[in-house]
Amino acid sequence: MYIFAKHTVFKNPVKSDRTIYFSFRYLPFVLGLVFIIIPIFAHLDPENSTFNGEPGPPDSWTTALFVLIGILIGLVPFLYKDKLVVVELDNQNIRILKDEEVIEVSWLDIKTISSSPQYFLRFTS
């Protein structure tokens, strides 16, 4: 499978989208905090909360369930945190930016490229 056409020439280096990178990296933490904070606020301020059409604080089991779901959602990024990188494509090289580390690889050193929802590169060395 060929990713690029036979005579593709990049005038400027092409970079992967940093918005997607930061979204996958930090959005689960934010969603986890939302799942944790909202039921705790509702439990601390029962006058302003309504559950199942009745005013009052949520059930303690409901609060515990939402806090556990928030913790699980917040832990999900630790499964793939080290695998997220920003990639910069050039005519001669691929530059992989992983946190503070920069890895430069020549196109000749790539053995295979497979694409599913993400791209996977396999190097010859």
Q: Give 97-115 pLDDT, tens digit per residue.
A: 887 888 888 888 878 777 6
The CA radius of gyration of the chain, in Å to the nearest whole number, is 22
**What pLDDT was estimated at residue 116?**
63
Q: Give 42-95 pLDDT, tens digit per residue.
A: 888 888 777 777 777 778 888 899 999 999 999 988 888 777 788 887 878 888
pLDDT-based confidence at residue 19 (cuts at 50, 70, 90): confident
Every domain of the chain and the residues it spans? 15-81, 85-125
Give dist(CA 84, CA 102) in Å, integer: 13
Q: Which residue has the higher pLDDT, 82 or 118?
A: 82
Instruction: Read off the amino acid at residue 55.
Output: P
Scored b (16 or more CB within 10 A) or e, 16-42 reads eeeeeeeebeeebeeebeebbeebeeb
